[in-house]
C-alpha cells in the first residue's frame, strides 16, 4: 500500500473489471477521515462517487469540493436530528433504518427526493445499524411512500465472525423482498475492501471501498 491513491484506484478498477462479469457496478470510494485533497486527487483521476459516514465532516468535504459536482453517498449511521442537514448535500442515503428517520427527513422540500437504501441488520444484535429483517417490508413501504425519499434498494455490512458470502446471500433474499414492493428498487449496496468479491457474487450493485483505494485511514480524532 505504498502507491498513490490514484494508482490504487486504477488497480482496483482493473480487478473489478475482471470480477464484475459485464454487470454494471458502481464503485463508491469511502473517503471518511481523509482530507478533501485526497478526494480531489481521485476526482482528477476521473472518479465521481464518494462515500462518507460522519456529519459534519462529510458536509465540510462536500462543501469544499462543491465545484467538482461529485455524487456523495452517506453510508454511516444517520441520526434523526441531523438527517435533514445530511440530506442537503448527500445525493444517496444508504442507511435508512427506521420509520422515525423517514419522518425526520420529510417536510424539507429544499431538494428533490433523495435516493435512499434501506439498511438491513444482518446480525442478531439489535444494537447494530439497520432494520431487523422482520421489519424490512414495512420500512420499505414507508420509504416508497415518502415525499422526501426515492426507494432504490438495500444496504448492509457483513457481520464480523461470519463467512461474508453467507451474509450476502441473505441480503440478496432481502433485496428480492424489497423489489416485490418496488420493482425499480434494485440496488444492493454491499462489499467493502475485505469482502467485495463475495458481495459481487451475491448481486451487489454498489461497492463501498475505503482502505483498498485510499490507504489506511488517519487515526480517529
Ligand atoms: C468505512 C466504511 C466502508 C469502507 O470500509 P473499508 O474496509 O475501508 O473498505 C464501507 N462501508 C461503510 C458503512 C463504512 O463505514
| Separation between Cα atoms, residue 50 and residue 67, nearest integer Å | 15
Range 25-44 average pLDDT:
98
Q: What is the pLDDT of residues 103-116, one digit of tens each?
A: 999 976 667 899 99
pLDDT at 1: 47
Atom of ligand 1 nearest to the CA of 155: 13
Instruction: Determine which helix (DSSP H) or strand (DSSP E) holds 61, and give its type and residue range.
Output: helix 57-64
Q: Mean pLDDT for the chain?
A: 96
Q: What is the mean pLDDT of residues 113-129?
A: 96
Which of 33, 192, 197 is the pocket-test mutation for ligand 1 (most atoms within 8 Å of CB)? Answer: 192
- What mean pLDDT do residues 180-184 have? 98
Nearest Cα neighbor of 94 from 112, 117, 72, 120 is 117
Residue nearest to atom 11 of ligand 1 (CA): 208
**What mean pLDDT is predicted for residues 134-146?**
98
Output the CA 193–ligand 1 centroid distance in Å.
7
Average pLDDT over residues 85-113: 92
Instruction: Tell which residue, 77, 160, 100, 172, has the closest CA to residue 124.
Output: 160
Average pLDDT over residues 154-163: 97
Domains in the chain: ranges and CATH: 5-214 (3.20.20.10)
Query: Which three cell numbers mark 113?
Result: 427526493
CA 209 to centroid of ligand 1, rounded, Å: 6
For residues 55 and 120, give the distance between their C-alpha atoms in angstroms, rounded to a whole number.
21
- Ligand 1 cavity residues, CB under 6 Å: 30, 32, 53, 75-76, 157, 192-194, 208-212
pLDDT digits (tens, 9 = 90+) for 56-78: 999 999 999 999 999 999 999 99
- pTM score over 0.85: yes
pLDDT for res 110: 65
Cβ–Cβ under 8 Å, residues 157 and 176: no
Distance CA 105, CA 208 (A): 24
Residue with cell 444517520: 78
Amino acid at each position: 500500500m505504498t502507491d498513490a491513491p490514484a494508482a490504487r484506484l486504477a488497480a482496483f478498477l482493473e480487478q473489478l473489471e475482471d470480477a464484475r462479469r459485464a454487470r454494471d457496478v458502481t464503485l463508491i470510494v469511502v473517503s471518511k477521515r481523509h482530507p478533501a485533497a485526497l478526494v480531489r486527487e481521485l476526482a482528477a483521476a476521473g472518479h465521481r462517487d464518494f462515500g462518507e459516514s460522519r456529519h459534519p465532516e462529510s458536509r465540510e468535504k462536500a462543501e469544499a469540493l462543491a465545484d467538482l459536482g461529485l455524487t456523495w453517498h452517506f453510508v454511516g449511521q444517520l441520526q434523526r436530528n441531523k438527517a435533514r442537514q445530511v440530506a442537503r448535500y448527500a445525493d444517496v442515503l444508504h442507511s435508512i433504518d427506521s420509520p422515525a428517520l423517514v419522518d425526520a427527513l420529510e417536510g424539507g422540500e429544499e431538494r428533490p427526493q433523495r435516493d435512499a437504501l434501506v439498511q438491513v441488520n444482518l446480525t442478531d444484535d439489535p444494537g447494530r445499524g439497520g432494520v431487523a429483517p422482520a421489519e424490512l417490508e414495512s420500512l420499505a413501504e414507508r420509504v416508497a411512500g415518502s415525499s422526501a425519499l426515492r426507494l432504490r434498494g438495500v444496504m448492509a455490512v457483513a457481520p464480523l465472525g461470519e463467512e461474508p458470502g453467507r451474509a450476502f446471500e441473505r441480503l440478496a433474499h432481502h433485496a428480492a423482498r424489497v423489489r416485490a414492493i418496488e420493482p425499480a428498487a434494485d440496488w444492493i449496496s454491499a462489499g467493502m475492501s475485505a469482502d467485495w468479491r463475495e458481495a459481487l457474487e451475491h448481486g451487489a450493485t454498489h461497492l463501498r471501498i475505503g482502505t483498498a483505494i485510499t490507504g489506511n485511514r488517519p487515526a480517529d480524532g
